Structure 1
């Protein structure tokens, strides 16, 4: 089986992480892969906010938990959060950001790093204080949060893939 396809089939979402930080060179490779996701007309509407600062990561976790209505860590202890945002001026921005999320998770898996797509980035970055945070980071414009890609090394076993549903593919010959 081709390595890319094998990675697509074997990648799983991880819901429990060790506190160990990802080496910078590995994180850079993952980020680079994210920047090569297909985007509508090649306009590259997304940006990636790479959060490795523990205090900022904790604040993001807390607001995510508040939005979700829980007291637990929605990031499952992952030390890295890659927030994907996309420019709402592009008609394909949600799809563009979703493809970036996919690239990030597949690249992480290929490099031995576990990941999970955590929602509520839209709700987080709709808040005035987080819009201001983006401006402080040099991200200006009308960006919408697409997803939080949490990264780290698993502290729990990964689940087996669920069987594929019947009638997943319909062929027209």
Structure 2
């Protein structure tokens, strides 16, 4: 089976849920963002927007808002997570990239997912830890949601679909769980 750096990054990437407090370097952040910009998009619309948050107080506020709103949802596992005082939705990452998309774009959820995955793989390839965090989008629900979007500089007509927590790993590499190999059929 062929092996190269890209395939190794795909196979080695794991969600990092324990980050060092040290901020990542500007050039590392730019490499990750560049990977997001080069993701495929339907009709080459590139209808995404990336909001980089490195302000600790703002990350704390987003964590608190998302957890506050999650407690009101009728989804038991989210309520349980949100009720845990020590749980941080970003796992202490010093950088978070909020991935938003133009709501009227064609299949924008897929485009934002592709950009998010590119950023996760880029992070792995340069030695950063990363975690795909959807929990944060709960913070933008309700009557205050539009105000929060405006305060973060997210363009009109866009909404968050995901976020990427980024930082230096504060954990040892773990082996991947076994993969289900019975998910492929061939038609030749």
In the other structure, the counterpart of 1:46 is: 48
> TM-score w.r.t. structure 1 length?
0.92
In the other structure, the counterpart of 1:17 is: 19
RMSD: 1.6
CA contact (8 A) 2:89 2:136 kept: no
> TM-score w.r.t. structure 2 length?
0.85
1:92 to 99, 102, 107: 107
In the other structure, the counterpart of 2:61 is: 59
Query: 1:116 aligned to 2:131?
Result: yes
Deviation at 1:128, TM superposition (A): 4.1
CA contact (8 A) 1:81 1:149 kept: yes
CA distance in 2, matches of 1:31, 1:90: 21
CA contact (8 A) 2:51 2:154 kept: no
CA contact (8 A) 1:18 1:155 kept: yes
CA distance in 2, matches of 1:117, 1:128: 25
Larger Rg, first or second structure (1 or 2): 2
Q: What SS does structure 2 have at the residue aligned with 1:131?
A: helix
Q: Which runs of 5+ in 2 are unaligned?
A: 71-77
CA distance in 1, matches of 2:142, 2:96: 18
CA distance in 1, matches of 2:154, 2:91: 27
